[in-house]
Amino acid sequence: MSTAALRIERLSAPFGSAPGLEDLSFEVQSGERFVLLGASGAGKTTLLRAIAGLAPAAARRMEVAGYDVAALPPERRDVVYLHQTPLLFPHLTVGRNVGFPLRVRKVPAAQAAKRVEEALSAVHLESFADRMPHTLSGGQRHRVALARAIIARPAVLLLDEPFASLDPSLRQEVREAVLTIQREYGPALVLVTHDLDEAGLLGDQVGVLLRRRLAQVDRPAQLFARPTSLEVARFLGMPNEVVGRIAEQGCFESVLGVLRVSRTIAPGPSVALFRPEAVRICERGFMAAPVVALRHRVHQTTAIVEVGGTRLEVALGGARPPAAHSLVQLSIDPDQLMIFPAP
């Protein structure tokens, strides 16, 4: 038997009457977080529902804690699926909401009370047991829903965009609750998000779902540094794309000049994608370029420059923000370019 808490092998799931997910395979260990990224309509929710037994699916193997659950009903899979909108029973207190799964399982009252206390403590709501749901904030309701999801201590916890409807402060609150639960109980966690930063922060593994298939599954650092295809790199939102070609000598030739690249890439038409940090404004560089605009974000300010008719977003490199339409010098790190054959 597999030792993975969740093992999916060659899963397919339809989108209603239309073709859906195809040939998906991945594993998640106990205590590990698998984050699923993909555009709207890619099938992320369909995948979670298929694992939970709430949507039709076919798979060579669908194992939870080493047991094939593909033919089992949802309540026997040792899997909990938590929708992005917390649904609490309005007529029950917080404590009774959290303890409801234990009542269904006929857990003795004394044991259930202790586990409710432990679950509420894990999400820092131990003093809220007697409160009613309508008295809670949005973040508190999400945390109660999380406590109820984990009180039965499932082998696998599925979270469908748990932070999507939250403002930044509440998002941090609920994210910390998820991490606390992971430390306390160690379920395998499969989490759907649209947020790339969130995926990098939470994921031990990140899977990118494109064209109904998992285009890449990797550790966050590897995924963001070395996407394996042009499609994945574009999905990850690399702001700069330059068309060129790989010459016989292994150099990338484009409006950026002739750059020697460290990776072995077949000669021919190519596309380079890269982050702003790959090209920086400096005192002395390989070329001068006019500044078209500045782009201000919370964490950094970048400049939009024009090189050979191509606009690039570049890092300031410690320099003061330049004036619009001024000429700046650029430096480049070829090792940060992600180069793929042109489609």
What tens digit of pLDDT does each residue of 188-200 get? 999 999 889 899 9
- What CATH code would you report for 239-341? 2.40.50.140
Residue 241's H or E segment, with its range, is strand 240-246
Give pLDDT tens digits for 152-161.
889 999 999 8
Residues 190-217 have a mean pLDDT of 93
Tell which residue, 268, 278, 279, has the closest CA to residue 340: 268
Third-level CATH fold of 6-225: Rossmann fold (3.40.50)
DSSP 3-state assignment of 94?
A: helix
Residues 250-269 have a mean pLDDT of 87
Give the number of other CB atoms < 10 A from CB of residue 146.
Answer: 25
Residues 213-229 have a mean pLDDT of 94
Which one-letter amino acid corresponds to residue 269? Answer: P
Give the model's pLDDT for residue 298: 80
Rounded to the nearest 5°, which phi and psi values hold at 165?
-95, 10
Exposed (0-12), middle (13-18) or buried (19+): which is 319, by Cβ within 10 Å? middle
Residues of the chain with pLDDT > 90: what percent? Answer: 66
DSSP 3-state assignment of 146?
A: helix
Q: Is the pLDDT of residue 338 over 80?
A: yes
Q: Is the pLDDT of residue 38 over 50?
A: yes
Give the model's pLDDT for residue 1: 47
Tell which residue, 31, 40, 135, has the closest CA to residue 88: 135
Which residues contact residue 38 at a Cβ distance below 8 angstroms, ignoring those fewer than 6 apart? 44, 208, 209, 210
Residues 101-124 have a mean pLDDT of 91
Per-domain residue ranges of the chain: 6-225, 239-341
Work out whether strand 188-192 and strand 33-38 pair parallel, antiparallel, or are unpaired.
parallel
Q: Is the pLDDT of residue 128 over 50?
A: yes
For the chain, give the mean pLDDT. 91
Give pLDDT tens digits for 266-318.
889 999 999 999 999 988 888 999 999 999 888 888 999 999 999 999 999 77
Give the model's pLDDT for residue 154: 93
Give the model's pLDDT for residue 272: 95
Residue 40: pLDDT band by 50, 70, 90 thresholds?
A: confident
Residue 203: pLDDT band by 50, 70, 90 thresholds?
A: very high
| 78-92, 199-213, 316-330: least confident range | 316-330
Residue 260: pLDDT band by 50, 70, 90 thresholds?
A: confident
Residues in the chain: 343
Tokens of 39: 């555009």
Give the model's pLDDT for residue 18: 82
Give the model's pLDDT for residue 159: 94
Which one-letter amino acid corresponds to residue 291? Answer: V
Residue 39: pLDDT band by 50, 70, 90 thresholds?
A: confident
Which residues contact residue 286 at a Cβ distance below 8 angstroms, ignoring those fewer than 6 apart? 257, 330, 331, 332
